[in-house]
């Protein structure tokens, strides 16, 4: 989307649309609550797919996180946006199921940009070889959930804030293999 202005959907605390805002503006000055989604992918071995956010990202760069996080476009259905971005960022598509949503707010100390999102969490299964987009992803790996949990406890600063919150919720709901 380089050269194009991206717009996010501003929402109230119950995810009702209340307007639209240019993406970078919505993440500035403390952030405005907007609709987002996060995708978690597991394989048949029970491993979870992780990506290392590219150093070129505007915020929370060079941190480990779930395979795909983004925002639906104006007028775009949430699930269609999730499939679009998964293909764009990781080069594959799979069945996705929305499992819960949550709201969070986190400011990146380095960029000073703020994520304030009503985040819809999707899960899916995939056993192929991802084809990551190098503009979005610097590295990727499959990890067993128990190993990931231990590393997040020992090194929380290596992971994005929304990833830690969503992964813990997935575990509590019994959705992690």
Nearest to 54 by CA among 69, 75, 38: 69
Give residue for tokens 């998964």: 86
For 50, other C-beta atoms within 10 Å of its C-beta total 20
Options 68, 89, 115, 117, the catalytic residue:
117
What are the distances in angstroms from CA 84 to CA 6, 39, 146, 148?
A: 15, 12, 30, 27
Options 68, 69, 89, 115, the catalytic residue:
69
Catalytic residue flag (residue 68): no
Give residue for tokens 């499959």: 142
Catalytic residue flag (residue 76): no
What residues act catalytically? 69, 117
């Amino acid at each position: 989307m380089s050269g194009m202005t991206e717009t996010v959907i501003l929402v109230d605390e119950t995810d009702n649309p209340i307007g639209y805002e240019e993406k970078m503006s919505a993440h500035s000055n403390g952030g405005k609550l907007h609709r987002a989604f996060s995708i978690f992918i597991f394989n048949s071995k029970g491993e979870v797919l992780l990506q290392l956010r590219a150093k070129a990202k505007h915020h929370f760069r060079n941190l480990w996180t779930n395979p795909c996080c983004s925002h639906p476009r104006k007028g775009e259905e949430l699930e269609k946006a999730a499939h679009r971005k998964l293909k764009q960022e990781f080069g594959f598509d799979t069945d996705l199921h929305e499992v819960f949503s949550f709201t969070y707010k986190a400011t990146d100390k380095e960029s000073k940009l703020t994520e304030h999102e009503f985040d819809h969490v999707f899960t899916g299964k995939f056993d192929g070889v991802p084809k990551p987009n190098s503009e979005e992803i610097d590295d990727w790996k499959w990890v067993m959930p128990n190993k990931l949990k231990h590393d997040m406890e020992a090194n929380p600063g290596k992971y994005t804030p929304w990833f830690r919150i969503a992964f813990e919720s997935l575990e509590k709901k019994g959705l992690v293999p």
